[in-house]
Amino acid sequence: MLLTLRVPRSRLCLGRQQHRRLLASTAPEEAKRQTTQHPLQLEINGNTYPTDSWTNVTPKILSHLGLNKHLQRDHPLSIIRQRIVNYFYGAYRNQRGNPLFSVYDQLSPLVTVQQNFDNLLIPIDHVSRQKSDCYYVNREHLLRAHTTAHQVELISGGLDNFLVVGEVYRRDEIDSTHYPVFHQADAVRLVTKDKLFERNPGLELFEETWSGSLADPKRILPSSKCMDQTKQPCHTLEAVKLMEHEMKHVLVGLTKDLFGPRIKYRWVDTYFPFTQPSWELEIYFKDNWLEVLGCGIMRHEILQKAGVHQSIGYAFGVGLERLAMILFDIPDIRLFWSNDSGFLSQFSEEDLQNLPKYKPISHYPQCSNDLSFWLPANVEIDAGFSANDFYDLARTIAGDVVEQISLVDKFKHPKTGKTSLCFRIVYRHMERTLTQAEVNEIHKHIADASVEAFNVQIR
Ligand code: DAH
């Protein structure tokens, strides 16, 4: 779930009646308007934002703002949040025995491009910035793609140990583990030389040969220069090794706290633009290695941007849905948005330590329909047509009854040169059986709206 970024969800399982209304009411023209045309300005949380050619956020996606599933009493995501927060409260205490970490779990998800990318040294041409991957309000504002977006503002405000928890928004495929809105927790810990080398006075955080003024915080080094998995040029090896040791110790502690002391885990070297060196922690679960978090030693340029010159820091980010799906045995990411009492009543924060396994309320059947169309002449996938645009359109029309969409066939006509695509759409309602007639109607709406929105020709 990392920058290699990933995943999740919306307000679909609104409850039966609302859902029916939604199914019946989003006609193709309206869906097209919602996904491809925008008003001149958007009003979000009481602020007005002019739209522009970058705007791609839909009303459906915006409807997730403020739902705060991670704060909803007894919700599985809220339980996971509390487990992580409590672990950090226990792992780090000050001399008076009070928790060292502070928690920010209600920051607005509407952030600037500077917060989400520039401040974190994400190169200007990095894939994660693309319009096809994020929900942009306009060219300067987007719904955060990760909770890491708040690092610089919080450090600038004087914080040195903090957790940020909230929902993030990413355009992605649709399947049982991916939803366009999901939740993350991100943490930062900064330490000074005196603290880090308490027992080894005389050691230094920074190389003697490195002059702080040489690093121009405005100059973003190309990522190829930040791949050295040993350390950043400015840091001493001792400082990095001690931080790495502390970070890994704490994160393995968190993993064992969540999954039990016998969980099998491994560290995998990786790359993030904002940390160096960087790692992912994987756990062995149901015969597979599953990545659970990303972390690393924070790039010193980020601390400099935030006005901190004499500390070294580590940071990590973790996706909550993935943890919750494993810990509660929840099979489908859409369930986290369900308001169905049959789902919600199964969890309670009375006992945070003993997490119950989810019992499927019932299993309603799937319906699968294919949709094939010709793209307009000279248009190809990722050159004039983005599959994520199609997924958003389908979601806008059908809502959460779309369980999965996959591109099952693609070919180019030898004579006309036109590209044909076939998407398989799997429909399933979480709370009742869908009839084939009902599915056909929704499917037809998606087809009509695709013709409207992308100028395709249904086959
Ligand atoms: N932001 C990353 C993601 O969403 C996760 C991450 C990795 C967060 C490393 C961090 C970090 O704070 O240090 O994929």
- Is 390 within the bounds of a domain? yes
Count of Cβ atoms closer than 10 Å to residue 411 Cβ: 10
Residue ending a domain, choose from 303, 337, 371: 337
Amino acid making up residue 57: V
Residue ending a domain, choose from 293, 321, 337: 337
Per-residue pLDDT, averaged over 74-79, amounts to 98
- Is 357 within the bounds of a domain? no
- Is 443 within the bounds of a domain? yes
In 261-395, at which residue ranges do the beta strands (DSSP E only) sit? 265-272, 275-285, 288-298, 311-319, 367-374, 380-381, 384-385
Percent of the chain having pLDDT more than 90?
79
3 lines ligand 1 (CB under 6 A): yes
Per-residue pLDDT, averaged over 204-228, amounts to 69
116 lines ligand 1 (CB under 6 A): no
285 and 138 within one domain: yes
Q: What is the pLDDT of residue 266?
A: 98
- Higher-pLDDT residue of 345 and 454 is 454
What CATH number is attached to the domain comprising 387? Answer: 3.30.70.380
315 lines ligand 1 (CB under 6 A): yes
For the chain, the average pLDDT equals: 89
In 300-428, at which residue ranges do the beta strands (DSSP E only) sit? 311-319, 367-374, 380-381, 384-385, 402-412, 419-427
159 and 89 within one domain: yes
- Is 50 within the bounds of a domain? no
- CA 384 vs CA 36, 137, 174, 387, 390: distances in Å: 13, 21, 21, 10, 12
Q: Which atom of ligand 1 is nearest to the CA of 151?
A: 12
| Spacing, Cα 34 to ligand 1 middle (Å) | 31
Count of Cβ atoms closer than 10 Å to residue 103 Cβ: 17
| Spacing, Cα 294 to ligand 1 middle (Å) | 5
* CB-count exposure of residue 396 (10 Å: 0-12, 13-18, 19+): buried
188 lines ligand 1 (CB under 6 A): no
Per-residue pLDDT, averaged over 386-392, amounts to 94
Cα 317-318-324 angle, rounded to 5 deg: 165
- CA 422 vs CA 406, 409, 436: distances in Å: 8, 5, 20
382 and 320 within one domain: no
CB half-sphere exposure, 453, CA atoms < 13 A? 30
388 and 325 within one domain: no
70 and 131 within one domain: yes
- Is 34 within the bounds of a domain? no
Range of the domain at 67: 59-212+226-337
Can you tell me which residue has the tokens 């400015």?
Answer: 234
Q: What is the pLDDT of residue 214?
A: 43
* CB-count exposure of residue 349 (10 Å: 0-12, 13-18, 19+): middle
Per-residue pLDDT, averaged over 273-279, amounts to 97
Task: Name the closest-CA residue to atom 12, ligand 1.
Answer: 316
Token couple for 425: 């759409």
Taking alpha carbons only, the member of 127, 256, 116 closest to residue 184 is 116
CB half-sphere exposure, 294, CA atoms < 13 A? 22
| Spacing, Cα 269 to ligand 1 middle (Å) | 14
pLDDT above 60 for 2: no
Residue ending a domain, choose from 295, 322, 337: 337
Can you tell me which residue has the tokens 């006992």?
Answer: 351
pTM metric for this prediction: 0.81
Q: Are strands 384-385 and 288-298 parallel, antiparallel or unpaired?
A: unpaired
325 and 371 within one domain: no
Q: Are strands 402-412 and 457-458 parallel, antiparallel or unpaired?
A: unpaired
Tally of domains in the chain: 2
- Is 369 within the bounds of a domain? yes
pLDDT in tens, 17-54: 223 333 334 666 766 666 667 889 999 999 999 999 99
d(CA 385, CA 420): 12
Element (H, E) at 151: helix 151-156
pLDDT in tens, 287-306: 999 999 999 999 999 999 99
What CATH number is attached to the domain comprising 196? Answer: 3.30.930.10
Q: What is the pLDDT of residue 7?
A: 27
| Spacing, Cα 333 to ligand 1 middle (Å) | 21
Per-residue pLDDT, averaged over 336-356, amounts to 90
| Spacing, Cα 245 to ligand 1 middle (Å) | 18
Q: Are strands 384-385 and 380-381 parallel, antiparallel or unpaired?
A: parallel
321 and 240 within one domain: yes
368 and 333 within one domain: no
Task: Name the closest-CA residue to atom 4, ligand 1.
Answer: 2
